[in-house]
Structures are given as structure tokens and as C-alpha cells.
């Protein structure tokens, strides 16, 4: 019976269309939503719905436009729906919170693709054609799309953990109840292939609403919905946006976050080009002079990609990265004059603090000018020592520390503050302080512990060995006499200390044969990390031209690679943080002719 009624209804509608050439046909037909959808699907049309009590005179104004009516009949199946009926109330949800009365275009059985208010149609009936043409484009695009953003069913902490595991970023979509922009994003944007592919490929996607979103909303001070947060795999905010976005805008937002996630945008510029650009943009210059290896890669992955670091360095600096023989971070003025340098940083906060020194006028060169000008306040001198030490200028920091402590006399070492300064910065103590350290060691043991005090004594003995290197030659006899003092003074682990000192001297004069012999002794007798072996190999590769010594180092590295791989085989797990790859590359470099 239902099929018969539907068949008759369709015949009635078709008969009306067949005579439109003889008279101005009726646009809106007495069909149900299901019937209109069936016809529209079969004839590849859209469904035009007059929703609610649209003024009859507006519909008449459309009917008077014969050409418009014929055009619409050719492209849509038009019906009317009374929202006061049971079906009308259910149908209201399809409007995605657009107010009615309205004219709305739908895909057959499905999505809303366009709306236009009746008063606009009354003013200009042809606007109905214009909105239809836009709706048709939206519908054609929707037909060609089959994928959607895939949201994980979890909380934000678990999403961050998953992102770190999958090496992705985190995309958080925050919606609100009864929010039209949220509904439109979900219906018209999230289900587009290009959007889905970008977000699913690069992000762990999370949808939050209601109670589960409260904490995130407060933390990020969200004021409008929907809201979108783009986070690093550590959970730090890369980019945030609020409100409705078109497909292109939404893709742009995702790409902005991905671009920012790459970190500081280093440029390949010469010194002259960098200075010209810095002067033009009124910025400073930051130069990352790096030595390729795991340590630098870790900085690239965790420090340079931190959003706060990226924002600050993009705002204030022209950023350059260059591979070299010595790792250091250099900050210069726009004219190239060095203002500050650091040889090592421990995390993103430290790098930010060093950069802020430059911006605030507290870089190494500025502090040096103040110190040489006679400024010697206690807190300033302590800051200056720290800056010199972090710049790799340990001897200069040591001299400043000794000048400062000398005024206080050796017994000042019994005060923790001054002991800490002495222990941290002094690499070459004056005779009175060194003798005090040796003679009063038991008293200092009681204050600070035996290990720290003995460690400082050993370090000072080792540093003293540098005096036997002069004009690229080594005073072997003098060093042997010096070494006897180690034993006489009962320096803890004096044999290891002598070996360390002798190895340092060999490096300073380029005696690589002795260096490798001593390094191998250390490796076999002391528990050393692969990082130390890597550091030695870098020195040999960069500074030693003796093929025999290069070959020995290559053999040593190859043996270590074999051992790492053997351990991986036995455990059934590959250590992704091992030095195996770096060792293999160095073996190749060492054996090159």
C-alpha cells in the first residue's frame, strides 16, 4: 500500500513538471522528506526545503520568476515542512541550529549544504539560485569524500602518551552543547578527505566536551566554541584557535601547528647576509655551531622544538645553524659583534634564559665590561663566574673566583657558600688555598663529605699537569716528578689521576699514539659510557692524521658495535638510544683515505 501511495505521488509530481513549458509550474510539491530524497537521489538533485511558516507572498514572488522556477525545478526537489508537526520537530535537528523559517538545501537523505533567509529571497528572488549553486559545490565535494577525523576515546594525558609513542602531535577539539559552529565543523569539515588525512596522519585527535573539558578550558582560557588546541607530544601548546573554520582555514591551522612543531626556523645565511637581515629587521643573531651526534640531535628534538623557545627566537633573532668542530651557541649583535656564548645547555629553560640575557643586555661581553670597570658586587661576581663557565671560559672563571676568594682568605672554605664557589669554578688554585685544602682535608671531609673534597683535590692535581705542556711539547721528566707528589700526598686514586692528566697532555700536544694507549687503558679499567668513547673518536677523526692510530680507533669502535649488536640479539630488543649508528659512521670516516 505504501509503495502504491509513493508511486502515485511521484506520478503526480512528474505530471506537474511535464507541463511547465505550457504554464508556470509549482515549485514546492506535496511530497514527504523521504519521497523527495528518493527522487533527488535518483535524479542527482538536491532537496530544497521551505522550513517553517515562510510568508506566502515570498513563495509567490519566486513563482512569478518563471525562469528561476524552471531552473530550480531542473535542479532540486522542493518541499515544505511544518515544524509544528511531530516530524517537523524531529526535522528541526537537520537545520544545525539555523533559525527558521528558512529555505534550506540538503543532499538526498542527508547533510545540510546551504541556507538562505526568506527576507533575502523576498528582496532578491534570484539569491535562491546563487545559494543553490554554492550548495551544489559543497554537495559535490561531500560526495567525493569518504574519510573522517578519527578521535580517540580517552583523556588528554593518555592522548599525550599515545602521541609520544607514535611520534605525533596532539589535536584537541573542544565543543559545547547547542553550539552551531561545533555542529557545522563536525558535519562540513571533519568529514572531508583532505582534512581527515592531514589530521589522522600527524595528530592523535581527541574530542572533549562537558565536564571532561573543564580543566583544559580553564588552563587555556578558552572563550569561544568550538576551540582547537594543537599540542606537542610532550603536551605543550603549539597553536590554538577558536570558532568556525572553513576547510582551507582548518587545514592551514593544522599546517601552522606542524610548522611550528619543527622548532626554530634556522636559515642558511652567510655572516654578511645574516647581519644585513638582522639590521633590516632590528634583531640579534643566534648561531648554533654544532658537532653532529646524539647530543646535538637531542637538542634539536627537545629544545629547539619547544614552542616557547621557538616563539622567543623567531621574535628576537635571525637564526643560523652550522656544523663545525666545536659545539657552542653564539649570540651576536646585528653587526656581528659577539655578545654572549654558551657551550652547553641543559634543556629549553636554560636556552631561553641565555637568550633573555642577550635581549636584556646581560650577556657575557656586557658583564665583562662591567667587571673590568671595577664593579664587584658579590651577586654580580657570582653571576659573572657562572656566565664565564657556561661560555667555556673556565680559566677566566677560575681567576675571577680566586680573586674573589683571596680577599676572604683560605679559611673561608669552611663556609658552604664559598666552598661551593671554589668547588664549582676554581680549576687552578693559588698556593695558599691548595695547601689549605690538603692540610685541612679531614676538617673539610666532615663538612662536605670525603668524595667531593677528594674529587676537588684530584681535579686540581690534574689541571696542574697542564703546566708541563709548553710550545706544543711535553716536559716528561717534570711531569714524572709531579706525579710522584700525587702518591706522596696520598691523593685518592692517584694512578687514575696521573693517567687522566697524562692523557690530557697528550691531547694538547697531538701525541695521539699515547692518547689512544691511555684511552684504551681507561676504557678497560674504568666504567665509562659510550659517550666518552664517542668523544675520543671525534677528536681522533678531526685532529689525528696518523693512519695507524685512525685504524686502531676504527677497530675499537667496530668491536664496540659488535658488542652492542650482540647484546641486542641476546635481549631481543634494539636500543634506539645506543651509539651504534654514530660509531658505524665514524668507522667509515676514520678509514677514508
For the ranges 368-372, 413-417, 505-509, 536-540, the lowest mean pLDDT is seen at 505-509
Query: CA-CA distances (angstroms) from residue 344 to 189, 295, 305, 350, 538?
Result: 46, 10, 17, 9, 17
Q: Which residue has the cell 659577539?
A: 338
Domain ranges, ordered by start, for the chain: 2-143, 151-261, 271-361
Nearest Cα neighbor of 176 from 135, 141, 144, 208 is 208
User: Is the whole model's pTM more than 0.75, yes or no?
Assistant: no
Confidence of residue 19 (pLDDT cuts 50, 70, 90): very low
Could you give the 3-state DSSP secondary structure of residue 284?
A: strand
Write down the mean pLDDT value for the chain. 89
Of the candidates 389, 277, 296, the residue with the CA atom closest to the CA atom of residue 334: 277
Q: May I ask the CATH class of domain 271-361? A: alpha beta
pLDDT for 17 beyond 50:
no
Mean local confidence (pLDDT), 61-66: 86
Residues 226 and 243 sit within 8 Å (Cβ to Cβ): yes
- The residues pairing with 206 across neighbouring beta strands, listed in sequence order, are 152, 172
Angle at 567 between CA 564 and CA 573, to 5 degrees: 100
DSSP letter string, 123-177: H-TTHHHHHHHHHHHHHHHHHT------EESS-HHHHHHHHHHHT-EEEEEE--T
Q: What is the pLDDT of residues 116-150, one digit of tens each?
A: 999 999 999 999 999 999 999 999 988 889 899 99
Structure-model confidence comparison of residues 499 and 35, the more confident one: 35
Which residues are CB-neighbours of 459 under 8 A, at least 6 positions away? 427
pLDDT recorded at residue 20: 42
**For residue 165, what pLDDT is reported?**
93
* Residue at grid coordinates 530550480: 72
Q: How confident is the model over 409-455, as pLDDT tens digits?
A: 999 999 999 999 999 999 988 888 988 988 898 999 999 999 899 88
CATH classification for the domain delimited by 2-143, as one of 1.10.4080.10, 3.40.50.720, 3.40.30.10, 3.40.640.10: 3.40.30.10
CATH topology of domain 151-261: Glutaredoxin (3.40.30)
pLDDT tens, residue by residue, 299-338: 998 999 999 999 999 999 999 999 988 899 999 999 999 9
Confidence of residue 7 (pLDDT cuts 50, 70, 90): low
Same fold across 2-143 and 151-261: yes
Task: Count CB atoms within 10 A of the CB of residue 174.
Answer: 22
Cβ atoms of 324 and 359 closer than 8 Å: no
- Residues 224-261 have pLDDT tens digits of 999 999 999 999 999 999 999 999 999 999 999 999 99
pLDDT band at residue 508 under the 50/70/90 scheme = confident
Q: Residue 226: is the preceding peptide bond cis (ω within 30°)?
A: yes
Per the DSSP assignment, residues forming a β-bridge with 338 are 332
Amino acid at each position: 500500500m505504501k509503495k502504491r501511495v509513493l508511486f502515485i505521488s511521484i506520478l503526480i509530481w512528474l505530471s506537474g513538471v511535464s507541463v511547465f513549458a505550457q504554464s508556470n509550474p509549482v515549485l514546492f510539491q506535496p511530497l514527504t522528506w523521504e519521497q523527495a530524497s528518493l527522487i533527488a537521489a535518483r535524479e542527482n538533485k538536491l532537496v530544497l526545503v521551505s522550513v517553517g511558516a515562510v510568508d506566502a507572498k515570498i513563495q509567490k514572488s519566486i513563482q512569478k520568476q518563471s525562469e528561476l522556477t524552471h531552473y530550480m525545478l531542473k535542479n532540486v526537489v522542493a518541499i515544505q515542512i511544518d515544524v509544528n508537526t511531530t516530524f517537523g520537530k524531529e526535522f528541526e535537528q537537520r537545520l544545525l541550529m539555523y533559525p527558521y523559517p528558512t529555505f534550506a538545501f540538503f543532499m538526498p537523505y542527508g547533510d545540510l549544504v546551504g541556507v538562505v533567509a526568506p527576507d533575502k529571497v523576498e528582496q532578491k528572488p534570484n539569491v535562491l539560485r546563487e545559494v543553490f549553486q554554492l550548495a551544489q559545490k559543497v554537495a559535490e565535494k561531500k560526495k567525493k569524500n569518504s574519510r573522517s577525523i578519527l578521535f580517540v576515546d580517552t583523556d588528554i594525558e593518555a592522548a599525550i602518551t599515545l602521541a609520544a609513542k607514535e611520534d605525533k602531535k596532539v589535536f584537541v577539539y573542544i565543543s559545547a552543547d547547542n553550539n552551531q559552529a561545533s555542529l557545522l565543523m563536525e558535519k562540513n569539515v571533519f568529514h572531508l578527505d583532505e582534512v581527515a588525512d592531514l589530521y589522522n596522519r600527524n595528530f592523535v585527535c581527541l574530542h572533549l566536551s562537558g565536564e571532561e573539558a573543564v580543566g583544559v578550558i580553564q588552563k587555556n582560557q578558552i572563550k569561544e566554541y568550538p576551540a582547537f588546541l594543537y599540542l606537542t607530544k610532550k603536551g605543550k601548546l603549539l597553536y590554538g584557535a577558536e570558532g568556525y573554520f572553513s576547510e582551507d582555514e582548518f587545514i592551514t591551522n593544522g599546517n601552522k601547528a606542524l610548522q611550528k612543531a619543527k622548532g626554530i626556523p634556522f636559515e642558511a645565511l652567510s655572516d654578511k647576509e645574516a647581519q644585513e637581515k638582522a639590521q633590516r629587521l632590528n634583531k640579534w643573531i643566534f648561531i648554533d655551531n654544532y658537532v653532529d651526534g646524539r647530543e646535538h640531535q637531542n637538542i634539536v628534538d627537545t629544545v629547539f622544538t619547544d614552542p616557547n623557545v621557538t616563539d622567543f627566537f623567531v621574535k628576537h633573532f635571525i637564526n643560523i645553524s652550522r656544523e663545525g668542530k666545536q659545539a657552542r651557541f653564539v649570540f651576536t649583535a646585528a653587526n656581528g659583534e659577539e655578545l654572549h656564548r654558551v657551550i652547553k645547555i641543559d634543556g629549553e629553560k636554560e636556552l631561553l634564559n641565555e637568550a633573555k640575557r642577550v635581549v636584556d643586555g646581560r650577556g657575557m661581553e656586557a658583564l665583562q665590561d662591567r667587571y673590568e670597570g671595577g664593579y664587584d658586587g658579590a651577586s654580580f661576581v657570582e653571576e659573572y663566574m657562572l656566565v664565564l663557565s657556561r661560555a667555556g671560559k673556565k680559566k677566566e672563571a677560575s681567576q675571577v673566583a680566586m680573586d674573589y676568594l683571596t680577599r676572604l682568605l683560605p679559611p673561608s672554605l669552611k663556609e658552604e657558600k664559598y666552598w661551593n664557589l671554589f668547588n664549582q669554578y676554581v680549576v687552578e688554585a693559588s698556593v695558599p688555598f691548595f695547601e689549605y685544602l690538603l692540610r685541612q682535608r679531614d676538617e673539610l671531609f666532615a663538612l662536605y663529605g670525603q668524595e667531593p673534597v677528594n674529587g676537588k683535590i684530584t681535579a686540581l692535581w690534574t689541571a696542574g699537569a697542564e703546566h708541563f705542556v709548553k710550545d706544543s711539547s711535553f716536559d716528561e721528566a717534570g711531569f714524572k716528578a709531579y706525579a710522584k707528589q700525587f702518591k706522596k700526598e696520598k691523593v685518592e686514586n692517584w694512578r687514575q689521576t696521573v693517567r687522566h692528566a697524562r692523557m690530557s697532555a697528550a691531547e694538547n700536544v697531538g701525541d695521539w699514539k699515547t692518547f689512544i694507549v691511555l684511552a684504551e687503558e681507561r676504557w678497560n679499567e674504568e666504567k665509562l659510557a659510550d659517550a666518552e668513547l664517542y668523544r675520543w673518536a671525534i677528536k681522533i677523526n678531526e685532529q689525528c692524521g696518523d693512519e695507524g692510530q685512525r685504524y686502531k680507533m676504527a677497530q675499537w669502535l667496530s668491536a664496540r658495535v659488535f658488542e652492542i649488536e650482540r647484546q641486542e640479539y641476546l635481549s631481543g630488543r634494539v636500543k634506539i638510544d645506543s651509539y651504534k649508528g654514530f660509531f658505524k659512521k665514524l668507522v667509515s670516516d676514520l678509514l677514508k683515505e
